[in-house]
Structure 1
Amino acid sequence: MVLRAGLIGLGMMGRHHARVMREMDGIELVGVADAMGDPHGAAGKLPVLSSVDELIDTGIHVAVVAVPTQYHEGVALQLAGAGVHTLVEKPIAHSVEAGRRMCHAFAERNLVGAVGHIERFNPALQQLRKRIQDGELGAVYQIATRRQGPFPARIADVGVGKDLASHDIDLTAWIAGSPYASVSGQVAMKSGRPHEDMVLVTGKLENGVNVNHVVNWLSPMKERLTTVTGEKGTFIADTMTGDLTFYANGTVDVEWESISSFRGVAEGDVTRFAFAKREPLRVEHEAFRDAVLGLESDVVTMEQGLHTLEIVEAALESAHSGMTVRIAQH
C-alpha cells in the first residue's frame, strides 16, 4: 500500500520533511500547505495550499506537522478529526494540557500519533543505546548532555527548554530505559525575549541514574554531546557528526607515583566505532510509516512526547520556585 501523505509547514524543517517524503518507498507526497508560502521551494510541482482543510481534501492518509509549536494542537486536532495519522514535530505542544488533548484525540480514533524526537534516530545514539543494553558499559551511573549554539531567529513562540532541552530529556530516558523521578532547573533570559534562552537541568531517573543537561542559545560554539558514564568506562556520542567513542577504564598498572596514589579510575583504551550512518530524519519517517502500516516500529508516540514535555515544564517550574520537582509516574 502506498500512503498518500501531506505536509503542513514549509519552513526550515518542512523543506527537509518534503525531500525525505519524496524519496521514500511506500509514501507519495500529494499535498503541501503553508499560509506563509514556500520560501525554500519545497513544494516542487505541488500547489501550496493555505489551510489544513485544503490539505485534508487531497485525500491524505498521513500528515507531517512542521508549523510553529503554538499551532501544533489546532492542526493536529483537525487532522485527527479527519482520521489522518500524524507525525508532529517536537515538542508535542506548547503546554502539557494541549499535549494531553492531542493524545486523547488520536487514541480515541485509534490513529497513530507520533512526535518528531529525531535524536532517537541518530546513528550515534542508536549505537550507544544498543551497546548499553548489551552490557558493554555495565551499570550506568550518569548521563550528561550539552546542547549549545547561537539563537535561531525562526524560534519565537517557545524558549530553549521546550525547543532544545526536550531533545536531551527524551533521549536520556530512552537510552537509560527509565523515566525521570525528579528534576531541578535553572534558567537565564539574556536575549531580551519573553522566554528563557538558557536552561540547566539536573535530575535523577527512576532507576537511580543521575542526569545533567546544559542547554542554551547563547553560545557561538555549536555543540551536541551526550556522555554516559558507567561501571566500565564512558561513552561520548556527538550527534552532529554521528560519532561514538568509548573511553574504557584502565587495567594497566600506573607507575607514576602521584597518579597511582589516586584510588579512582585510570585511563584505558579509547575506541571510536565505525558503523553505518543513515540520515536520522529518513529513519524517523520509516518508523512512522511502519507504525501506520501496523508493522513493528520504534516510533516516538504522542504519549512519550507528552511525558517529555511534562519533564521540561517541571524543570521550568523548579527554576521559578527554587524547589526540586518530583515527577508523578503514570
Structure 2
Amino acid sequence: MKYAVVGAGYWGENHVRVGAELRDAGAIDELVVCDVDERRAGELASTYGAELETDPGALPDRGVDAATVATPSTTHREVATDLLSREVDLLVEKPLALDAENAWAIVDSANEHDRVLGVGHIFRHHPALCELKRRIDRGELGDLKYLNTSRFSFRVPRQTTGALHSLAVHDVDVFGWLVGHRPAQVYCQLDRIIRDDIDETATLLLEYDGDGGGDHVDPEGVTGVINSSWQVPTFGKSRHLSVVGSERAAYLDYLEPSKLELYDARVVTERDGALRARDEGHTVHEVENYEPLKREVEDFLTAVAERGTPVADGRVGARAVELLDRAVASNRRGEAVPVDARDEAVPLDD
C-alpha cells in the first residue's frame, strides 16, 4: 500500500511520523508527504525518508491508495471529495468540515465511490477512555447521570477555527459515544474577546433523553457539560473527564492515558427515609498504554485492507459537525436548541 499524508503542519507532522513507523514495521509499503509548502513538506520527507509532493491532486496518479488529510478544516471538502472520487481511501482529521452540509458532502462522496472514510476522532482510541467505555457498557457505573469535561490551556487562538471546532468537538463526540446516542438539545455560549470572528472559549450544556440511549442510561436523562478554552492560564494544559453513574463515578486525566479512577460513592436512602452520602473510597486502574494516533491509523489501515468500517467513520464525523452547527445556532439565538439530524434513526456509535 502506498500511503500519503496531506498537510505538513503540526498535526500532519505527527501523522508523517506514525506513517514512517508503520512503513518501517511493514504495515504500508511507501509513504508520501504532500503539502503546498514545498520547503516544509521537503523537510519532513527528508527526515522520514518519504517521497515529496506539493499537489494533492497528483497523488492518485502517483499510485497512492490511501491518505490522511490533515490540511486546514476549511479545505477538507475540496481535498477529500477530489481524492475520494479518484479511488483514494481517506482518514480526514477532525472536524470533518466546518458545517454539516460540507461534512455530509464528503460522506456522500465516499459512499458514491465506495471508499473507506475515517475521521480523526482520536479519543475513541484513548487507552483510559476505551477502558471506561468498556466498564460503562458492562454496567459497572450503573445508569449514567452526569458527564463533565474541561479542556483548558493558554495560547493565542487559532486564525481559522475556534475552540468549539478545535477543542469541544472532541467531547461532543466522546459524550455521544459513552451515552450511546445524540442529545435532545444543546445550549452553547461562545466567547470572542481577542479575535472578533474566532471563539476562544466554548461552554456547552447537552441534554440526553433517558429512553433513547444504551442499556445504562438514567431514565430521567443525562446531562453533559463541556468547558473548553484557550484563555485559562491557571491550570497549564488541562484535560479532564468525570462521569457519574447511579452506582459509581469515574475520572480520568487525558494527559495520563493509562490511568482510570473509579469512585464508589453515591447518595442512598436509609430505612427511615433519610438521605446519606456513602463514600467507600476509590480505586486506580492501570491500563495498557499505547499511542492513540498510531492506534487510530492502524484501525483505518485495517478497514482499508478489509474494506470495513473504522471506529470513527464518516457518519460519526458528520454527526459531530451537525451538533456543532446546533451549538452555533444556540449561541446565536441565546437559547437551547433541539438537535435535528439527517440520520436520526442511527445511533452515534453505530
Provide the TM-score with structure 1 as the length reference.
0.91
Q: Is the 8 A contact 2:118 2:310 kept in 1?
A: no
Percent of pairs identical after alignment?
28
Alpha-carbon shift at residue 55 of structure 1 (Å): 2.2
Report the equivalent of 1:80: 84
Distance of aligned partners of 1:129 and 1:228 in 2 relative to their CA distance in 1, 3 Å threshold = same
Q: Helix, strand or coil: the match of 1:218?
A: coil
Q: Which residue of 1 aligns with 2:181?
A: 178
Residue 218 (structure 2) aligns with: none
Aligned partners of 2:280 and 2:30: how far apart in 1? 50
2:45 aligned to which of 43, 46, 69: 43
> What amino acid is the match of 1:50?
T
Match of 1:201 in 2: 204
Q: Of residues 215, 236, 247 in structure 1, which corresponds to 2:228? A: 215
Which stretches in structure 1 are left out of the alignment for 5+ residues?
253-260
1:1-330 alignment to 2 at 5 Å? 3-24=1-22, 25-39=26-40, 41-44=43-46, 45-151=49-155, 155-207=158-210, 208-220=221-233, 221-242=236-257, 243-249=259-265, 263-294=275-306, 298-329=310-341, 330=343
Contact 1:22 1:28 in 2 (8 A): no
Encode CA deviations 1:145-187: one digit per residue, 9 max, x unaligned.
Answer: 111112356x321111011110000011011112121100111
Deviations 1:210-258 (A, max 9, x none): 1110011111221111110011121012111112111112699xxxxxx
* TM-superposition CA deviations, 1:123-150 (whole Å, max 9, x none): 0110110011111101110111111112
**In structure 2, distance between residues paired with 1:251 and 1:65:** 48
Question: Once the 2 structures are TM-superposed, how far is the Cα of residue 268 of structure 1 from its aligned partner?
Answer: 1.7
CA distance, structure 1, for counterparts of residue 320 and residue 261 of structure 2:
27
Amino acid across the alignment from 1:313: D
Deviates more, 1:296-305 or 1:15-24: 296-305
CA RMSD of aligned residues (A): 2.2
Residue 23 of structure 1: how far off its partner (Å): 1.6
Deviation at 1:192, TM superposition (A): 2.4
Distance 1:262 1:188 in 2: 43
Tell me, in whole angstroms, the C-alpha distance in 1 between the residues paired with 2:109 and 2:309.
21
What stretches of structure 2 of length at least 5 have no aligned partner? 211-220, 344-350
* Matched length: 321
Q: CA deviation at 1:43?
A: 1.6
Residue 296 of structure 1 and its aligned partner are, at CA, apart by 6.2
- Cα distance 1:109–1:152, how it changes in 2: closer, same or farther (>3 A)? farther
